[in-house]
Amino acid sequence: TRSTRPQRLLKVVQKRATRGDPQSVISAVDHFCRHSEWAMNVGDEKGSILDSVVSELSPEKVLELGTYCGYSTVRIARLLPPGARLITLEFNADYAAIARQVIAWAGLEDKVQLVEGASEDWIPRMKEHYGIETFDFVFLDHWKDRYLPDTKLMEDCGLLRKGTVLLADNVICPGFPDYLEYVRNSLSYKSCYFKSHLKYTKAEDGLEKSVFLG
Ligand SMILES: CCc1ncnc2c1ncn2[C@@H]1O[C@H](/C=C/CNC(=O)c2cc(-c3ccc(F)cc3)cc(O)c2O)[C@@H](O)[C@H]1O
Ligand SMILES: [Mg+2]
C-alpha cells in the first residue's frame, strides 16, 4: 500500500539529515514541507518564534500537546538546558511511531519522553507517573478544540505555577476562538500575540503567548 505522509517525511529525514544533528533534522523537514508535501507542523517562521520563547525561558520542565511527527519537539528539545525534560503527548500510534524515530535521529531521546495517549487522560497523571510538580513551559499544537479544556485541566491539576508560559500555535488558522477569549480576558493570564504566517504561505497565522499569573 502507498506510504503515509509521515512515513515519507521520516524517509527524507533519514536520507538528508545527519544523525545526532537536530538542526539538520529541522532543515530536512522544512525542505520536505516546502518542496514536496505540506504537513501541519509549525514550520520555520513560527518555529523561530518558538525558538526565541524557549531560549529566553530556558525551561526545565516542558509539556507539548500534539507531537505529530516531532518537528516542534526537536525544535524545543535542542534548546533545553542539560537535565531539562520535555514530555510530549500524542494519541495517534502511527504518528507517535514516526515521531519517536525523528526524535531519535536528532539524538534527543534522552531529553524527550513521548507518551502515547490522549492529553485528558495523561495530564492528570503527570505528578504520579512522571514526578512533575509544575511545568515551566507548555506548547499547545493539538486539535484546536482541545486547547481550552486541556488548559483548564492543567489549572485544576495544579500543573501551572506563577510564571508558567503557555504558547499556542494557530491563533488564526485553523484558530481557537474559545481558548483565545479565555486567556485574553482571564485575570489569571497575561497574553500577547506573535503575528506570523501560516508556514510557507502569505496567509496570516500566529502564536499566542500566555503567562499564568497564579
Ligand atoms: C485528544 C487530545 C489529544 N491528545 C493527544 N494528541 C492529540 C490530541 N488531539 C490531537 N492530537 C494529535 O495532535 C496532532 C494534531 C494537530 C492538529 N493541528 C492542526 O489541525 C493544524 C492544522 C493546520 C492547518 C491545516 C489546514 C490549513 F489549510 C491550514 C492550517 C496548521 C497547523 O499548524 C495545525 O497544528 C496530531 O498528531 C494528533 O494525533
Ligand atoms: Mg500547529
pLDDT-based confidence at residue 1 (cuts at 50, 70, 90): confident
Concatenate the DSSP letters of all residues of 134-191 into one string: -EEEEEE-S-GGGHHHHHHHHHHTT-EEEEEEEEEE-IIIII-HHHHHHHHH-TTEEE
Question: Is the minimum distance from the CB of 172 to ligand 1 under 6 angstroms?
Answer: no
Please give the number of the atom of ligand 1 that sits closest to the Cα of 203.
29
* 118 Cβ closer than 6 Å to some ligand 1 atom: yes
Beta strands in the chain (DSSP E): 61-65, 85-90, 112-116, 135-140, 160-169, 189-197, 204-212
- Chain mean pLDDT for the chain: 97
pTM exceeding the 0.90 threshold for the entire prediction: yes
| Residue-wise pLDDT tens digits, 62-107 | 999 999 999 999 999 999 999 999 999 999 999 999 999 999 999 9
Which of the ligands is closest to the CA of residue 68?
1
Task: Check pocket membership of 68 for ligand 1, CB cut-off 6 A.
Answer: yes
Q: How many CB atoms lie within 10 A of CB 156?
A: 11
Report the pLDDT value the prediction gives residue 29, as an integer from 0 to 100: 97
pLDDT tens digits along 188-207: 999 999 999 998 788 999 99
Cα 170 to middle of ligand 1, angstroms: 10
Measuring from atom 6 of ligand 1, which residue has the nearest CA? 90
Residue 113 has pLDDT above 80, yes or no: yes
- Whether ligand 1 lies within 6 angstroms of the CB of 108 is answered as no
Q: Which atom of ligand 1 is nearest to the CA of 146?
A: 2
- Residue minimizing CA distance to atom 15 of ligand 1: 142
Which ligand minimizes its atom distance to the CA of 67? 1
**pLDDT tens track for 151-166:** 999 999 999 999 999 9
Cell of 89: 503527548
Query: Does pLDDT of 25 surpass 80?
Result: yes
